[in-house]
Amino acid sequence: MKFDNILVPVDFSEFSDKAVAYALYLAETHGSSLTLLHAVVLHQEDVEEEAHLLDYEELVKKKEAQIQRKMAGHNEQAGRRGVKINAVTVRGIFAADTILDYIDDHDFDLVVIGTHGRTGLNKWLHGSVAEKVVRVSPVPVLSIHQNVTEYRIGKILVPVDFSDYARQAVEAALGISRQFDARLEFLFVLEQDLHPAFYAGGVGSLFTIDAELKQRTTDRLREFVGYTGENAAYRVLEGRAFNEIVETASSEDCDLIVMATRGLTGLEHLLIGSTTERVVRFSTVPVLTVGRNKSFDDQ
């Protein structure tokens, strides 16, 4: 997987600062170029106080000048580490759409974006930008949680559901493993619910009902991945997929989760939701989402 050109959307919050720090780590190790993008969301500008003195265009220009001064701090930090950086401000009506349009118009290999794990009303007010970028971006997106403190890739968790989308995640993870000499943990989560009668009889696991189920599924997982390297492990669990993924990443000290996203939008997304989005929202481990028309062959 290439990391030559990396885009980092920034809003100068602690969340985006973490994303910038992680992107600098990647840029240092791969000689990447960084673009920091701030979307100036026009309808959010507060013009009431100064409307008597300045027209709207002047207010926006003032805002953009403030942003450039804030960008200078990131530029200085990157310069000290020998990383080439480009600071950009773009006007738009909606932040997520502005970011996605910029991605479409430029040749990026990766987007690194900060996330915060909010739920409920706070999620709808503050979390929808990152989630829409994750869901719709035509290039891979690396989501960095606010609690990330270490910047390394030594162990990668790869959840698999045997779909064609998951094959792209496997391909990406194998490439990253080669680049960082990282270990791999492939995971399949069986989500089938037991009939209440089994619980009444003291049976709480499908693996108890079918003693060979775990081994058969593990064999299928190995075959699906098609990788025989000694740096890979295979794990089959049962439960809610996103819970098991998040907990495994934490308990196994993984540095990165690589998952596929199906790019659902509109009513389909509203009804179905996404295991990947839940992992992005709740995982404190960085999550790389792939799967929208991008090749991961090393070039």
pLDDT at site 165: 86
Q: Of 226, 93, 210, which is closest to residue 160 (Cα–Cα)?
A: 226
Residue 53 has pLDDT above 50, yes or no: no
Top mean-pLDDT range of 43-52, 127-136, 231-240, 269-278:
231-240
**Res. 299 pLDDT band, cuts 50 70 90:** very low
Q: Which CATH class is domain 1-151?
A: alpha beta
Domain ranges for the chain, please list them.
Answer: 1-151, 152-299
Round to whole Å and give the CA distance between 244 and 282.
12
Q: Is the pLDDT of residue 55 over 70?
A: no
| pLDDT tens track for 231-289 | 999 999 998 899 999 999 999 999 999 998 875 555 554 444 478 888 998 999 999 99
Quote the CA–CA distance of 40 and 20 in Å, as a whole number.
18
Classify residue 4 as left (phi > 0), alpha (psi -120 to 50) or beta.
Answer: alpha
pLDDT of 97 over the 80 cut:
yes
Q: pTM for this structure?
A: 0.83
Question: What CATH class does 152-299 carry?
Answer: alpha beta
Structural contact between residues 3 and 84, judged by C-beta atoms closer than 8 angstroms: no
What does each C-alpha distance from 223 to 39, 124, 141, 177, 192 come to in angstroms? 44, 40, 27, 19, 22
Contact partners, residue 37, CB within 8 Å, separation at least 6: 7, 8, 9, 10, 88, 89, 90, 99, 102
Predicted confidence (pLDDT) at residue 100 exceeds the cutoff of 70: yes
Tokens of 7: 């885009």
Highest mean pLDDT among 42-46, 89-93, 159-163, 173-177: 173-177
**Chain mean pLDDT for the chain:** 81
Q: Which two tokens stand for residue 185?
A: 């943990």
Domains 1-151 and 152-299 share a fold: yes
